[in-house]
Amino acid sequence: MNDKIDLDHFRALLIARRDELNALSGASEDARKPVELDQQSTGRLTRLDAIQQQQMAKAQETRRAGELKKIEAALARITEDEFGYCGECGEAIAVKRLEIDPTTQICVGCASTR
């Protein structure tokens, strides 16, 4: 385990972000529902706007799902005592880098060679 890392701090950060993403997902559920194409109740431009809003909500949900996967992987690394170590070279990841993105899996050196 990387002795310089407060695992409880990062676990709390990750869980808080996961909860926030899940709340956002629940709040935007209606926005992702199919758009009614009833021409009697809405005009063409209103329907197009509704379809655009729906597509943006779906794209946001896709991004949230990706971030949730990264959060779950980071929480698993904490459980397995692998959090804070580069997945490529095995060296410790700088705490400042983890503060910026606790889901990161590689150190700055390996990231710069990609």
Annotated domain spans of the chain: 7-82
> Cβ(58)–Cβ(32) under 8 Å?
yes
> Cβ(98)–Cβ(104) under 8 Å?
yes
Its pTM stands at 0.79
Q: Where are the beta strands (DSSP E) in the chain?
A: none
Give per-residue pLDDT as tens, 22-78: 998 887 776 656 666 665 555 666 777 878 888 888 899 999 999 999 999 999 999
| pLDDT confidence tier of residue 92, bands split at 50, 70 and 90 | very high
Percent of the chain with pLDDT over 70: 83
> Cβ(68)–Cβ(21) under 8 Å?
yes
